[in-house]
């Protein structure tokens, strides 16, 4: 399953997050896969796509970063999958 993770840097400061990433990597537990990410122009929020069959793995990953950011985790589908689900109601 695919998830959109919205990461909010504490105090809008990306430096501590990027510092830890540079020193230690993503700190992903086995079974949680990073796909891609985007950062807003103000460098306050990061939007990440991740995949896993075990959403409980997010707790481990978030614990490694929770001192620097807070997170929203949303299961998502592609636009085509959404269109397919909606099609019978059109």
Q: From first to last of its 90 residues, what are the pLDDT tens digits of the chain?
A: 999 999 999 999 999 999 999 999 999 999 999 999 999 999 999 999 999 999 999 999 999 999 999 999 999 999 999 999 999 999
Which pLDDT value is given to residue 60? 97
**Nearest-5° Cα angle at 6, 70 to 33:** 100
Other Cβ atoms less than 10 A from the Cβ of 23: the count is 7
Domains and CATH numbers, the chain: 2-89 (3.30.70)
Which pLDDT value is given to residue 7? 98
Which pLDDT value is given to residue 28? 98
Dihedral over alpha carbons 66, 44, 34, 6 (to 10 degrees): 70
Which pLDDT value is given to residue 62? 98
Which pLDDT value is given to residue 39? 98
Distance from C-alpha of 22 to C-alpha of 56, rounded to nearest angstrom: 25
Question: Which residue is listed with tokens 């990440």?
Answer: 48
Kind and range of the H or E run holding 73: strand 69-76
pTM of this structure:
0.91
């Amino acid at each position: 399953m695919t998830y959109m993770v919205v990461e909010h840097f504490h105090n809008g400061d990306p430096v501590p997050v990027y510092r830890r990433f540079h020193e230690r990597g993503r700190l992903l537990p086995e079974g949680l896969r990073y796909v891609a990410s985007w950062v807003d122009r103000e460098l306050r929020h990061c939007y990440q796509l991740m995949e896993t069959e075990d959403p409980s793995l997010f707790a481990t990953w978030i614990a490694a970063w929770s001192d620097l950011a807070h997170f929203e985790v949303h299961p998502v589908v592609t636009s085509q999958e959404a269109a397919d689900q909606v099609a019978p109601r059109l």
